[in-house]
Protein backbone atom coordinates (compact mmCIF):
# COMPACT_ATOMS: atom_id res chain seq x y z
CA UNK A 1 0.00 0.00 0.00
CA UNK A 2 2.84 2.31 0.92
CA UNK A 3 4.41 1.94 -2.48
CA UNK A 4 1.29 3.16 -4.14
CA UNK A 5 1.02 6.37 -2.15
CA UNK A 6 4.69 7.05 -2.90
CA UNK A 7 3.98 6.63 -6.62
CA UNK A 8 1.12 9.09 -6.33
CA UNK A 9 3.45 11.61 -4.80
CA UNK A 10 6.15 11.19 -7.44
CA UNK A 11 4.22 12.99 -10.12
CA UNK A 12 6.11 13.26 -13.37
CA UNK A 13 7.05 16.83 -14.25
CA UNK A 14 7.18 17.33 -18.02
CA UNK A 15 9.62 20.03 -19.12
CA UNK A 16 9.68 21.08 -22.78
CA UNK A 17 12.95 22.47 -24.20
CA UNK A 18 13.93 22.98 -27.83
CA UNK A 19 17.25 21.91 -29.31
CA UNK A 20 17.87 24.29 -32.20
CA UNK A 21 20.69 24.07 -34.68
CA UNK A 22 23.68 26.14 -33.54
CA UNK A 23 22.29 26.47 -30.01
CA UNK A 24 22.24 22.93 -28.76
CA UNK A 25 24.68 23.73 -25.98
CA UNK A 26 21.95 25.99 -24.60
CA UNK A 27 19.46 23.14 -24.27
CA UNK A 28 22.13 20.95 -22.66
CA UNK A 29 23.04 23.57 -20.04
CA UNK A 30 19.38 24.24 -19.24
CA UNK A 31 18.63 20.52 -18.83
CA UNK A 32 21.75 19.97 -16.74
CA UNK A 33 20.85 22.86 -14.40
CA UNK A 34 17.29 21.58 -13.88
CA UNK A 35 18.37 17.99 -13.31
CA UNK A 36 21.11 18.97 -10.84
CA UNK A 37 18.86 21.12 -8.67
CA UNK A 38 15.86 18.87 -8.04
CA UNK A 39 14.88 15.53 -6.58
CA UNK A 40 11.65 15.60 -8.58
CA UNK A 41 10.77 13.09 -11.27
CA UNK A 42 11.40 15.22 -14.37
CA UNK A 43 10.65 14.03 -17.89
CA UNK A 44 12.39 16.18 -20.48
CA UNK A 45 10.67 16.61 -23.83
CA UNK A 46 13.45 17.70 -26.16
CA UNK A 47 11.98 19.12 -29.34
CA UNK A 48 14.10 19.30 -32.46
CA UNK A 49 14.03 19.32 -36.23
CA UNK A 50 14.82 16.10 -38.05
CA UNK A 51 18.41 17.24 -38.77
CA UNK A 52 19.34 18.12 -35.16
CA UNK A 53 17.83 15.18 -33.32
CA UNK A 54 20.69 12.66 -33.75
CA UNK A 55 23.21 15.22 -32.47
CA UNK A 56 21.34 16.10 -29.26
CA UNK A 57 20.58 12.43 -28.57
CA UNK A 58 24.26 11.54 -28.85
CA UNK A 59 25.26 14.45 -26.62
CA UNK A 60 22.91 13.28 -23.86
CA UNK A 61 23.74 9.59 -24.13
CA UNK A 62 27.51 10.21 -24.11
CA UNK A 63 27.66 12.62 -21.19
CA UNK A 64 26.64 12.65 -17.54
CA UNK A 65 23.12 13.51 -18.72
CA UNK A 66 22.58 9.88 -19.68
CA UNK A 67 20.79 9.49 -16.31
CA UNK A 68 17.93 11.82 -17.26
CA UNK A 69 14.49 10.69 -18.40
CA UNK A 70 13.85 12.19 -21.81
CA UNK A 71 11.84 11.91 -25.02
CA UNK A 72 13.02 13.41 -28.25
CA UNK A 73 10.16 14.74 -30.35
CA UNK A 74 10.46 15.91 -33.94
CA UNK A 75 8.77 19.19 -34.82
CA UNK A 76 7.58 19.45 -38.39
CA UNK A 77 8.04 23.04 -39.62
CA UNK A 78 5.42 22.45 -42.31
CA UNK A 79 2.74 23.39 -39.76
CA UNK A 80 4.07 26.96 -40.01
CA UNK A 81 3.67 27.24 -43.78
CA UNK A 82 2.04 30.55 -44.66
CA UNK A 83 1.99 31.65 -41.02
CA UNK A 84 5.32 33.48 -40.79
CA UNK A 85 6.31 36.72 -42.45
CA UNK A 86 10.00 36.66 -43.37
CA UNK A 87 12.01 39.17 -41.34
CA UNK A 88 15.41 39.82 -42.85
CA UNK A 89 16.71 41.80 -39.89
CA UNK A 90 16.73 38.93 -37.39
CA UNK A 91 16.28 35.63 -39.22
CA UNK A 92 17.12 33.64 -36.06
CA UNK A 93 13.74 34.64 -34.61
CA UNK A 94 12.01 32.78 -37.41
CA UNK A 95 13.62 29.51 -36.42
CA UNK A 96 10.67 27.12 -36.57
CA UNK A 97 11.37 25.99 -33.00
CA UNK A 98 10.46 29.47 -31.72
CA UNK A 99 6.86 28.45 -32.33
CA UNK A 100 6.95 25.10 -30.51
CA UNK A 101 5.28 26.76 -27.50
CA UNK A 102 2.18 27.37 -29.69
CA UNK A 103 1.79 23.61 -30.27
CA UNK A 104 2.29 22.09 -26.82
CA UNK A 105 -0.73 19.74 -26.83
CA UNK A 106 0.36 18.27 -30.17
CA UNK A 107 3.81 17.42 -28.84
CA UNK A 108 2.99 16.31 -25.31
CA UNK A 109 0.74 13.39 -24.51
CA UNK A 110 -1.06 12.47 -21.30
CA UNK A 111 0.18 15.36 -19.13
CA UNK A 112 -2.24 17.81 -17.62
CA UNK A 113 0.35 20.39 -16.59
CA UNK A 114 3.47 21.22 -18.58
CA UNK A 115 6.46 23.54 -18.16
CA UNK A 116 7.88 25.16 -21.29
CA UNK A 117 11.31 26.82 -21.10
CA UNK A 118 13.35 28.76 -23.64
CA UNK A 119 16.76 27.22 -24.27
CA UNK A 120 18.69 30.27 -22.99
CA UNK A 121 17.76 29.76 -19.34
CA UNK A 122 19.49 28.31 -16.31
CA UNK A 123 17.43 26.96 -13.42
CA UNK A 124 18.99 27.48 -9.98
CA UNK A 125 15.91 26.56 -7.95
CA UNK A 126 13.96 23.32 -7.59
CA UNK A 127 11.79 22.92 -10.70
CA UNK A 128 9.10 21.35 -8.48
CA UNK A 129 8.44 24.84 -7.12
CA UNK A 130 7.77 26.22 -10.60
CA UNK A 131 5.58 23.24 -11.42
CA UNK A 132 3.52 23.94 -8.28
CA UNK A 133 2.55 27.38 -9.65
CA UNK A 134 -1.20 27.73 -9.16
CA UNK A 135 -3.26 28.36 -12.27
CA UNK A 136 -6.60 30.06 -11.70
CA UNK A 137 -9.67 28.19 -12.96
CA UNK A 138 -10.16 28.91 -16.66
CA UNK A 139 -6.53 29.87 -17.22
CA UNK A 140 -4.55 27.86 -19.78
CA UNK A 141 -1.17 29.34 -18.80
CA UNK A 142 0.90 31.27 -16.28
CA UNK A 143 3.64 33.77 -17.18
CA UNK A 144 5.80 36.28 -15.39
CA UNK A 145 4.79 39.93 -15.89
CA UNK A 146 7.22 42.42 -17.36
CA UNK A 147 6.26 45.15 -14.91
CA UNK A 148 6.11 43.13 -11.74
CA UNK A 149 9.83 42.42 -11.76
CA UNK A 150 11.88 42.94 -8.60
CA UNK A 151 13.31 46.42 -8.10
CA UNK A 152 16.76 45.16 -9.07
CA UNK A 153 15.58 45.72 -12.62
CA UNK A 154 16.72 49.34 -12.58
CA UNK A 155 19.48 48.28 -14.93
CA UNK A 156 16.81 47.07 -17.29
CA UNK A 157 14.97 50.34 -17.48
CA UNK A 158 18.21 52.05 -18.32
CA UNK A 159 18.79 49.95 -21.45
CA UNK A 160 15.43 50.77 -23.04
CA UNK A 161 13.52 47.61 -22.25
CA UNK A 162 10.14 46.92 -23.76
CA UNK A 163 7.63 46.06 -21.09
CA UNK A 164 4.30 47.14 -22.53
CA UNK A 165 2.08 46.01 -25.38
CA UNK A 166 3.13 49.05 -27.38
CA UNK A 167 6.58 47.54 -27.78
CA UNK A 168 5.15 44.45 -29.47
CA UNK A 169 2.03 45.46 -31.40
CA UNK A 170 1.66 48.10 -34.10
CA UNK A 171 -1.03 50.41 -32.76
CA UNK A 172 -1.30 52.18 -36.12
CA UNK A 173 -3.10 49.10 -37.42
CA UNK A 174 -6.87 48.97 -37.11
CA UNK A 175 -6.91 45.26 -36.20
CA UNK A 176 -4.72 46.02 -33.18
CA UNK A 177 -6.74 49.05 -32.10
CA UNK A 178 -9.92 46.96 -32.41
CA UNK A 179 -8.63 44.65 -29.69
CA UNK A 180 -9.30 47.45 -27.21
CA UNK A 181 -6.07 46.71 -25.29
CA UNK A 182 -4.38 49.81 -23.90
CA UNK A 183 -0.87 50.21 -25.38
CA UNK A 184 0.52 50.80 -21.88
CA UNK A 185 -0.68 47.37 -20.69
CA UNK A 186 2.12 45.40 -19.09
CA UNK A 187 3.51 42.66 -21.35
CA UNK A 188 4.74 39.23 -20.24
CA UNK A 189 7.60 37.08 -21.46
CA UNK A 190 6.61 33.65 -22.85
CA UNK A 191 10.10 32.16 -22.32
CA UNK A 192 8.86 30.47 -19.15
CA UNK A 193 5.35 29.00 -19.24
CA UNK A 194 3.39 26.77 -16.90
CA UNK A 195 0.48 25.49 -18.98
CA UNK A 196 -2.70 23.51 -18.40
CA UNK A 197 -3.24 21.24 -21.42
CA UNK A 198 -6.93 20.59 -20.74
CA UNK A 199 -7.74 24.31 -20.73
CA UNK A 200 -5.40 24.91 -23.70
CA UNK A 201 -7.30 22.38 -25.83
CA UNK A 202 -10.69 23.46 -24.52
CA UNK A 203 -10.01 27.11 -25.45
CA UNK A 204 -8.38 26.07 -28.73
CA UNK A 205 -5.38 28.25 -27.91
CA UNK A 206 -3.27 26.83 -30.75
CA UNK A 207 -5.96 27.73 -33.30
CA UNK A 208 -6.25 31.24 -31.90
CA UNK A 209 -2.47 31.75 -32.06
CA UNK A 210 -2.39 30.49 -35.64
CA UNK A 211 -5.16 32.91 -36.58
CA UNK A 212 -3.06 35.85 -35.38
CA UNK A 213 0.05 34.54 -37.11
CA UNK A 214 -1.91 34.41 -40.34
CA UNK A 215 -3.36 37.88 -39.86
CA UNK A 216 0.13 39.20 -39.26
CA UNK A 217 1.36 37.75 -42.55
CA UNK A 218 -1.48 39.59 -44.31
CA UNK A 219 -1.51 42.83 -42.34
CA UNK A 220 1.89 43.13 -40.62
CA UNK A 221 0.47 43.74 -37.14
CA UNK A 222 3.50 43.42 -34.92
CA UNK A 223 6.00 46.07 -34.13
CA UNK A 224 9.00 44.85 -36.11
CA UNK A 225 11.58 46.73 -34.09
CA UNK A 226 11.26 44.25 -31.33
CA UNK A 227 13.42 41.18 -30.84
CA UNK A 228 11.00 38.58 -29.62
CA UNK A 229 7.97 40.08 -31.32
CA UNK A 230 7.35 37.24 -33.71
CA UNK A 231 6.54 34.57 -31.14
CA UNK A 232 5.55 36.89 -28.29
CA UNK A 233 2.96 39.09 -30.00
CA UNK A 234 0.32 36.43 -30.79
CA UNK A 235 0.59 35.22 -27.20
CA UNK A 236 0.13 38.73 -25.83
CA UNK A 237 -3.08 39.00 -27.84
CA UNK A 238 -4.52 35.55 -27.11
CA UNK A 239 -3.68 35.49 -23.39
CA UNK A 240 -4.51 39.12 -22.65
CA UNK A 241 -6.22 39.26 -19.24
CA UNK A 242 -6.43 35.45 -19.12
CA UNK A 243 -3.27 34.18 -17.45
CA UNK A 244 -1.99 33.42 -13.97
CA UNK A 245 1.28 34.69 -12.50
CA UNK A 246 4.62 32.99 -12.10
CA UNK A 247 6.70 34.18 -9.15
CA UNK A 248 9.05 36.82 -10.64
CA UNK A 249 12.10 35.17 -9.04
CA UNK A 250 11.34 32.24 -11.35
CA UNK A 251 11.99 34.41 -14.38
CA UNK A 252 14.85 36.88 -13.99
CA UNK A 253 15.44 38.06 -17.50
CA UNK A 254 17.26 40.42 -19.83
CA UNK A 255 20.67 38.97 -19.01
CA UNK A 256 21.29 38.93 -22.75
CA UNK A 257 19.97 42.40 -23.40
CA UNK A 258 23.25 44.30 -23.38
CA UNK A 259 26.86 43.30 -22.67
CA UNK A 260 26.88 45.96 -19.93
CA UNK A 261 23.75 44.82 -18.13
CA UNK A 262 25.03 43.63 -14.76
CA UNK A 263 23.01 42.44 -11.80
CA UNK A 264 24.32 42.29 -8.25
CA UNK A 265 25.83 38.92 -7.31
CA UNK A 266 23.56 38.60 -4.31
CA UNK A 267 20.45 39.11 -6.42
CA UNK A 268 21.63 36.55 -8.98
CA UNK A 269 22.22 34.03 -6.23
CA UNK A 270 18.65 34.41 -4.99
CA UNK A 271 17.19 34.08 -8.50
CA UNK A 272 15.53 30.73 -9.20
CA UNK A 273 15.73 31.03 -12.97
CA UNK A 274 17.97 33.20 -15.16
CA UNK A 275 17.04 34.05 -18.75
CA UNK A 276 19.52 35.48 -21.26
CA UNK A 277 16.85 36.90 -23.57
CA UNK A 278 18.21 39.42 -26.02
CA UNK A 279 21.09 39.19 -28.48
CA UNK A 280 23.99 38.50 -26.14
CA UNK A 281 23.93 34.79 -25.39
CA UNK A 282 26.12 33.22 -22.70
CA UNK A 283 27.67 30.70 -25.12
CA UNK A 284 28.80 33.61 -27.33
CA UNK A 285 31.06 36.57 -26.78
CA UNK A 286 30.46 39.23 -25.51
CA UNK A 287 27.90 38.32 -22.86
CA UNK A 288 27.29 38.97 -19.17
CA UNK A 289 27.28 36.57 -16.24
CA UNK A 290 28.33 33.77 -18.59
CA UNK A 291 30.20 32.07 -15.72
CA UNK A 292 26.82 31.28 -14.12
CA UNK A 293 25.74 29.64 -17.35
CA UNK A 294 28.98 27.80 -18.03
CA UNK A 295 28.73 26.21 -14.62
CA UNK A 296 26.03 23.93 -16.05
CA UNK A 297 27.32 23.52 -19.59
CA UNK A 298 28.49 20.04 -20.63
CA UNK A 299 30.95 20.02 -23.54
CA UNK A 300 29.79 18.39 -26.77
CA UNK A 301 31.33 14.90 -27.00
CA UNK A 302 31.26 15.19 -30.80
CA UNK A 303 33.13 18.52 -30.66
CA UNK A 304 30.68 20.20 -33.07
CA UNK A 305 29.36 22.77 -30.63
CA UNK A 306 32.03 25.11 -29.24
CA UNK A 307 31.74 28.05 -26.89
CA UNK A 308 32.76 31.41 -28.35
CA UNK A 309 35.14 33.05 -25.91
CA UNK A 310 37.47 36.02 -26.16
CA UNK A 311 40.52 33.78 -26.07
CA UNK A 312 39.20 31.14 -28.51
Say if residues 171 and 177 touch (Cβ distance below 8 Å). yes
Residue 8 included in any domain? no
Asked if residue 44 is part of any domain, the answer here is yes
Q: Please give the model's pTM, rounded to 2 decimal places.
A: 0.93
Bridge partners (DSSP) listed for residue 117: 17, 192
The total domain count for the chain is 1
Report if residue 3 sits inside a domain: no
What is the predicted pLDDT for the residue at 258? 84
Phi, psi of 274 (to 5 degrees): -110, 135
Q: Give the CATH number of the domain where residue 88 resides.
A: 3.90.550.10
* Domain assignment of residue 312, yes or no: no
Alpha carbon distance 35, 31 (integer Å):
6
User: Could you read off the pLDDT of 194-224 as tens digits, one per residue?
Assistant: 999 999 999 999 999 999 999 999 999 987 6
Residue stretches of the chain with pLDDT short of 70:
1-9, 87-94, 148-161, 224-229, 312
Q: What is the pLDDT of residue 92?
A: 61
Instruction: Supply the range of the domain harboring residue 197.
Output: 13-148+159-295
Closest by CA to 70, choosing from 99, 47, 98, is 47
Sorted by sequence, the CB contacts under 8 Å of residue 178 that are 6+ apart come out as none
CA distance 114 to 96: 20
The predicted pLDDT at position 88 comes to 54
* Distance, CA of 183 to chain centre: 24
Separation between Cα atoms, residue 125 and residue 269, nearest integer Å: 10
Q: Taking the CB of residue 112, how many other CB atoms lie within 10 A of it?
A: 12
Does a structural domain hold residue 153? Answer: no
Give me the percent of the chain exceeding a pLDDT of 90. Answer: 75
Q: Which pLDDT belongs to residue 46?
A: 98
pLDDT at 152: 47
Give pLDDT, residue 262.
81
Let me know if residue 219 belongs to a domain: yes
Amino acid sequence: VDLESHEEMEEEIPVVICAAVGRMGAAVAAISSIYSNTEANVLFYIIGLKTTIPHIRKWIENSKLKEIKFKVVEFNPMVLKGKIRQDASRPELLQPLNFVRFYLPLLIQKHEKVIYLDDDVIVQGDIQELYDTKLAPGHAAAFSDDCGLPSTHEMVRSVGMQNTYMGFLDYRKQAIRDLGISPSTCSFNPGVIVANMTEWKHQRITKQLEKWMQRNVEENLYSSTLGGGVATSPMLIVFHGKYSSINPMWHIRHLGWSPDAHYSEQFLQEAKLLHWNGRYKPWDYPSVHSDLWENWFIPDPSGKFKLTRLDS
